[in-house]
Amino acid sequence: MKKRTIYIFIIVLVLISMTACKKKDPPSSSLGNIKGTVLSNEGRDPIYGVKVEVASGSIVKKLETNQNGEYSTAVPAGNIVITASRAGYIAQKVTVVLEKNAQLSVTPILLVLEENAISIEGTATFAAGVPDWSANVYAEISIMDDGLKYADMETIKAGTLKTSAYRIGGLRRDRNYIISARAANLPGDAIKDGPNTQTNKSIIRKSETADPEKSTFTINVGPETNALVAAIELYLANTGRKLNDDGVDADLDAIQSAADPRQRAIELSTTTVQGTIQDILGEPLGEATVVIVGSNPQKSTVSDIGNGTFAITEVPIRYQSVSAGKAPRYLTAGQDVLELVAGVPCNVTLLLVPNPAVITGDLNAAAVLMADNSSGALSGWLTDAFSYTFLGVAKDRATAIAELPAAYVAVYPGPDTTYQSIGGSKTNFSFGNDNWTMRRETTFVRCSYRASGTVQYGNKRWQLVTLTIENEVRLPKAPTALTVTGGDASA
């Protein structure tokens, strides 16, 4: 009983200790409310999207100013440090004292533009439709540059003209900028594209902001500029380049001056990937699927059934890989480094290797045919591409077929393959080390046979570069050697 009491006492002490160590939020009685605005030093205009950090001891609240430049939060009372920063402006820090349960309005924080920074201003005009113009509409006009967002947000009163003035400061001078204007009935919808948002875009070029005597430039945004920007964004997506990368300006000039900007963007950012799909013996391989790796939407085609050729047009030059496959008979092959140049066709030859997992079934089917050729179907195997020497004498195809007492086929390239005989007139197999052979024995026949070309039956095809058989078949003896260089090339 005494031990039990001690255990209970220890458990209680542990629970009390855990409770004491648990971090607690400050009681509401120790909090105060703080609010303020962030303005531009030049015109005392509210700045939208300023990052504001309000720190009270170890507690830091992170905020952003609204379209009126306002921020507000509740923090523990005491010495409060407020930091305001936004791209293009010099960050400012102020310290204030907040009393418990107090409502403190902070003197407006003035942000000064960085040296040589410029401002872009103008009007954003929207079309009828989305959003609902009978209610208040929020319009955000923004610029993204190197991952930094510069923006302004205005409110368009219900029932008024579908136009909003804007001003964005703190921008670098020697840059191209795409300006996006989004309108929605909720502020949260106005900061992103979506079904409840109307988005229009325009572009201002670095050549337009080059005048060192000016620091403010005007550009208007509306539906009429969307097609040009869409063409430029297509070009950037296809090339993988950014708006201010080296060499981009010349192409932007060409797109802007073209009668059809979209078509010119395609010409400057895509090419044709073309070539041939072959088997491992260099024979054309049709009906193989060819894919530009990573393309979205996928760019693909199928090789021609007759000559194995393919062509994929309008391939974005940012892609670097192409692959081809013909399942299940062939393993996928590819080329990982494509040097794509806009408007210059890229020629590719891909060799597909047979899939060992499916060749065995073909050999079994062929063996049945060879073991019982009473139907004469074997004649369909030997194509016109074959050349024949029988007993040292060249033969034409018909004579060779008639005099050929046995057929021998081997697939898959590898070292010279030999096999031992098993007595009897039947088909035997040897599968090992990927050097596969198939033979049919014929009793009391002496033959010397050499051939090169294609062995075919139905849609199955085996290509033999050279096949040489020198043998004397007298039971229990068997063919002494089979030397093959070649491989499977089934269609």
Q: Which tops the pLDDT comparison, 71 or 388?
A: 71
Report the alpha-carbon distance of residue 181 to residue 143 in Å, rounded: 9
| Cα 102–Cα 104–Cα 109 angle in degrees, nearest 5 | 165
**Residue 294: per-residue pLDDT:** 94
DSSP letter at 230?
H
Spans of all domains in the chain = 28-112, 115-221, 268-352, 358-488
User: pLDDT above 90 covers what percent of the chain?
Assistant: 57
- pLDDT at res. 385: 45
pLDDT computed for residue 60 by the predictor:
96
Say what percent of the chain tops pLDDT 70.
66
pLDDT attached to residue 283: 80
Angle among Cα 465, 470, 475 to the nearest 5 degrees reads 130
What is the rounded CA–CA span in Å between residue 367 and residue 383? 18
Burial status of residue 353 (CB atoms within 10 A of its CB: 0-12, 13-18, 19 or more): middle
Domain 268-352: give its CATH architecture: Sandwich (2.60)
Looking at per-residue pLDDT, the higher value among 3 and 269 belongs to: 269
Residue 76 has pLDDT above 70, yes or no: yes
Q: What is the pLDDT of residue 66?
A: 93
The separation between CA 116 and the C-alpha centre of its own chain, rounded to angstroms, equals 38
Q: Tell me, what's the pLDDT at 488?
A: 37
Of 127-141, 344-358, 476-490, the least confident: 476-490
Which of 241-250, 388-397, 436-445 has the lowest average pLDDT? 436-445
Residues 6+ apart with CB under 8 A from 180: 141, 142, 143, 144, 199, 200, 201, 221
- Give the pLDDT of residue 13: 57
The number of CA neighbours under 13 Å toward the Cβ of 100 is 5
Q: What pTM did the predictor assign?
A: 0.67
Instruction: Out of 54-63, 242-251, 390-399, pick the least confident.
Output: 390-399
pLDDT band of residue 116 (cuts 50, 70, 90) is confident
Cβ neighbourhood burial of 141 (10 Å; 0-12, 13-18, 19+): buried
**Per-residue confidence band for 53, with pLDDT thresholds at 50, 70 and 90:** very high
- The pLDDT of residue 37 is above 70: yes
Inter-residue contact 340 to 296 (CB < 8 Å)? no
Distance of CA 453 to the CA centre of its chain: 42
pLDDT for residue 27 is more than 60? no
The fourth-level CATH superfamily of domain 28-112 is Immunoglobulins (2.60.40.10)
Closest CA to 239 of 341, 316, 178: 316
Q: Which residues, including other chains, have CB under 8 Å from residue 327's CB and lie 6 or more apart?
A: 355
| Number of C-beta neighbours around residue 33 at 10 A | 14
Residue-wise pLDDT tens digits, 196-250: 999 999 999 999 999 999 999 999 999 999 999 999 999 999 999 999 999 999 9
Higher pLDDT pick, 328 / 96: 96
Strand partners, 472: 446
Mean pLDDT value across residues 54-75: 95
Name the phi and psi angles at 363, rounded to 5. Answer: -65, -40
Q: Which pLDDT belongs to residue 122?
A: 97
Taking residues 77-91, report their average pLDDT.
94
d(C-alpha 259, C-alpha 25), whole Å: 64
Q: How many residues does the chain have?
A: 491
Assigned CATH for 115-221: 2.60.40
pLDDT class of 357 with cuts at 50, 70, 90: low
pLDDT of residue 471: 35
What CA–CA distances, in Å, run from 467 to 229, 391, 484? Answer: 63, 15, 5
Q: How far apart are CA 380 and CA 462, in angstroms?
A: 13
Give the model confidence (pLDDT) of 144-176 as tens digits: 998 889 999 999 999 888 999 999 999 999 999
Q: Is it the case that residue 375 has pLDDT exceeding 90?
A: no
Distances (CA, A) of 299 to 240, 262, 319: 16, 19, 11
Give pLDDT, residue 150: 94
Q: Do the domains 268-352 and 115-221 match in fold?
A: yes
Per DSSP, the three-state class of 379 is: helix
Which has the minimum average pLDDT: 75-84, 184-193, 355-364, 407-416? 407-416
